[in-house]
Amino acid sequence: MYLRKCRRTRRGNAYVYWQLVESYRTANGPRQRVVAYLGELTRRQREGLKAAAEDRTGVFQYQLFEEDLEPEWALVDTAHVRAERRREFGGWWLGLQLVHKLKLVEFLEAVHPGGREEVPWSIMSLILVLCRFCQPSSELHIAEHLYEWTALTDLLGVPERRVNDDRLYRALDALLPHKRSLEVFLKQRMGDLFALDYDLLLYDMTSTYFEGQAEANPQARRGYSRDHRPDCKQVCIALVVSRCGMPLAYEVFDGNRSDVTTVQEIVPVVEERYGKSNRIWVMDRGMVSDKNLQFLRSGDRRYILGTPRSRLKQHEEALASGDWQTVREGLEVKLCPTPDGSEVFILCRSADRREKECAMHARFEARIEAGLERICARCASKRLKPDAVNRSVGRLLSANSRAAGLFDVNVTADDAGRARVAWLKVDEWRAWAELSEGCYVLRSNVTDWTAEDLWRAYIQLTEAESAFRLHKTDLGLRPIWHQTERRVQAHILVCFLAFVLWKTLGQLVNAAGLGDEPRKVFDEIAQIHMVDVVMPTSAGPAIRRRCIAQPTKHQHVLLERLRMRLPEQLRITEDVV
């Protein structure tokens, strides 16, 4: 049913009256019939009748928010004032403030020109990103449950009935082609906002696994799983971030791709987008190979790399000497230049790491010794062949490889053909273990920095590792439920954009002097809710106002420090198309 406005002229005077009309279907097509003639109605009465016709509770009083209207007075029945539709507001509002700071709305509107769609793809993309930022969940869950309990209906002006899983999936497809331009835009925007320095690029890789066979995705492969799920197919994700963890770019590789094979693909991609600019590449030892070193040197690229532990043996004399530089309590470093001066090796010695490795060696030594004693007991009680005993010894040593070099095991046969086991501990191995425990080595062609500066630059790789943890825990990157390649890549892109929002919040929190834990700030502001206050009137219709809960003292301080101000109330958007 709906209200129809009618005009009539009598004796030179124009009159307006209203009809309540019902639409219905017949065999010959749609028809309308007048249910009631209502005569002249005020705006307030029309809103009340319209709400009743659409089976809504109360009147949505738009005129309460329009300054150009004369105020209307009504007698409110205070005994029956009530609050309805309590919904989450603070976290969603905060996420939208971050979106506006990044000018992400303007970018999405530029790359998604308006068409015939009922809801612009730019808005649907924002819904995906904000849901991933605030409460990560599937597109189906967003459409059927999550969206209706958020403030996005009012903040974005999209009613619940317009958000469905099909439209969200199509928004993924519409967003993916703009991945590269998004990365470039966000890098420039974040650099302008926070005066970021991109002289140091941290590169690392991770993997995330699938639920399902993902047969339609050629990138889904079984490989080394960082999630300890070798039973599942996976994809590998390479991420490049700045020294403070702000993301620059990422790429998705096949699940069986090894880290070392990606360097010569990622580095040119980043240089093509952002230029070389004498940047320093920082990578862990999994990226190091002779070919990659030659590739980095050939392009006059500077680097700081982790190095396999086997390199320590070449610096045994330097390890034993005493000219170490203390960086902080429990950590010492030392520079070892190469003879030609083109590179330096940075020896690092950590007290905490030494304690850990010492305990590991002791534990594995005890396991091997206990295992050898059991094998000797079996040889004494049974007639075992030397070949079988050798295999048992091999399995024991391989299972405890950290201390396998300490034992020199000899399996022989006596005159009766019975296996006999004898072993001794290698003093040279123990001496080297005691010298090298807690030590690791880095290498770099940045020869004008101190050992401390080089170590501090390398340790920034923890920013890339924390980015992966945030992706997988807070942003729900794993597991992946999508099965096609494009949908998987779009899912990862949405997670990347939500991660940008988190890092933006982190920068704002840090600049406001609120520490380095944006999660605590977000959780506090997310506790702010929104409610509809319904006030029945003596005239019949009820006045409905959508109000924001007043922040607590603590929340008010956070908002003041972040220079953000909550709105007092919102327009009610149930009728927005």
What DSSP string runs through 42-83? Answer: -HHHHHHHHHHHTT-SSEE-GGGG-TTSPP----B-GGG-EE
- Sign of dihedral through CA atoms 536, 542, 543, 547? positive
What is the rounded distance in angstroms from the CA atom of residue 451 to the CA atom of residue 196? 24
pLDDT in tens, 394-431: 999 999 999 999 999 999 988 777 888 999 999 999 99
Instruction: Return the pLDDT at 2.
Output: 77
Instruction: Return the pLDDT at 16.
Output: 81
Q: Is 323 helix (H, G, I), strand (E, B) or coil?
A: coil
Question: In this structure, how many other beta carbons lie within 10 angstroms of the beta carbon of residue 8?
Answer: 9
Query: What is each CA distance from 27 to 24, 30, 31, 33, 250, in whole angstroms?
Result: 10, 8, 10, 16, 58
Categorize the per-residue pLDDT at 48 as very low, low, confident or very high, splitting at 50, 70 and 90: low
Categorize the per-residue pLDDT at 99 as very low, low, confident or very high, splitting at 50, 70 and 90: very high
Q: Is the pLDDT of residue 57 over 90?
A: no
Q: Is the pLDDT of residue 347 over 90?
A: yes
Q: Is the pLDDT of residue 66 over 70?
A: no
Q: Is the pLDDT of residue 121 over 90?
A: yes
Written as six digits, the tokens of 553 are 């003292």
Q: What number is the average pLDDT over the span 158-165?
A: 91
Instruction: Return the pLDDT at 569.
Output: 72
Q: What number is the average pLDDT over the span 198-227?
A: 92
Instruction: Return the pLDDT at 576.
Output: 37
Instruction: Return the pLDDT at 40.
Output: 77
Phi-psi domain of 318 (left: phi exceeds 0; alpha: psi -120 through 50; beta: other): alpha
Q: What number is the average pLDDT over the span 166-171?
A: 94
Q: For the chain, what is the mean pLDDT?
A: 88
According to DSSP, residue 537 is labeled B
Instruction: Return the pLDDT at 53.
Output: 63
- Structural contact between residues 207 and 215, judged by C-beta atoms closer than 8 angstroms: no
Q: What number is the average pLDDT over the span 192-204?
A: 89
Q: Is the pLDDT of residue 29 over 90?
A: no
Q: Is the pLDDT of residue 179 over 90?
A: yes
Q: What number is the average pLDDT over the span 310-330?
A: 90
Categorize the per-residue pLDDT at 350 as very low, low, confident or very high, splitting at 50, 70 and 90: very high
Torsion angle in degrees (nearest 10) through CA of 149, 155, 161, 167: -100
What is the rounded distance in angstroms from the CA atom of residue 99 to the CA atom of residue 129? 9
Instruction: Return the pLDDT at 67.
Output: 44
Q: What number is the average pLDDT over the span 31-54?
A: 72
According to DSSP, residue 376 is labeled H
Task: Tell me what percent of the residues of the chain surpass a pLDDT of 70.
Answer: 94
Question: In this structure, how many other beta carbons lie within 10 angstroms of the beta carbon of residue 1?
Answer: 17
pLDDT in tens, 75-86: 888 888 999 889
According to DSSP, residue 503 is labeled H
Q: What number is the average pLDDT over the span 433-440?
A: 94
193-231: burial string, b at 16+ Cβ within 10 Å, e else: bbebebebbbbbbbbbbbeeebeebebbbebebbeebee
**CA angle in degrees (0–180, nearest 5) for 518-523-525:** 95
Q: Is the pLDDT of residue 27 over 90?
A: no
**Total count of residues recorded for the chain:** 577
Instruction: Return the pLDDT at 481.
Output: 92
- Structural contact between residues 109 and 124, judged by C-beta atoms closer than 8 angstroms: no
Ranges 33-47, 257-271, 365-379, 455-469: which has the least confidence: 33-47
Q: What number is the average pLDDT over the span 342-352?
A: 94
Query: What is each CA distance from 187 to 96, 108, 279, in whole angstroms?
Result: 19, 15, 15
Residue written as tokens 């960086």?
327
Written as six digits, the tokens of 231 are 């039973």
- Structural contact between residues 243 and 280, judged by C-beta atoms closer than 8 angstroms: no
What is the rounded distance in angstroms from the CA atom of residue 53 to the CA atom of residue 487? 42
> Hey, which bits of 55-199 come out as E strands?
59-60, 82-88
Tell which wins on pLDDT, 196 or 572.
196
Instruction: Return the pLDDT at 124.
Output: 95
User: CB under 8 Å to 41, separation ≥6 — which residues?
Assistant: 18, 49
- Which contiguous run of DSSP H or E holds residue 386? helix 386-399
Residue written as tokens 């083109």?
342
Chain centroid to Cα 353, Å, comes to 29
Q: Is 97 helix (H, G, I), strand (E, B) or coil?
A: helix
- Structural contact between residues 61 and 545, judged by C-beta atoms closer than 8 angstroms: yes
Written as six digits, the tokens of 491 are 């899912």
Residue written as tokens 């360097």?
263
Tell which wins on pLDDT, 273 or 254.
254
According to DSSP, residue 210 is labeled B
According to DSSP, residue 360 is labeled H
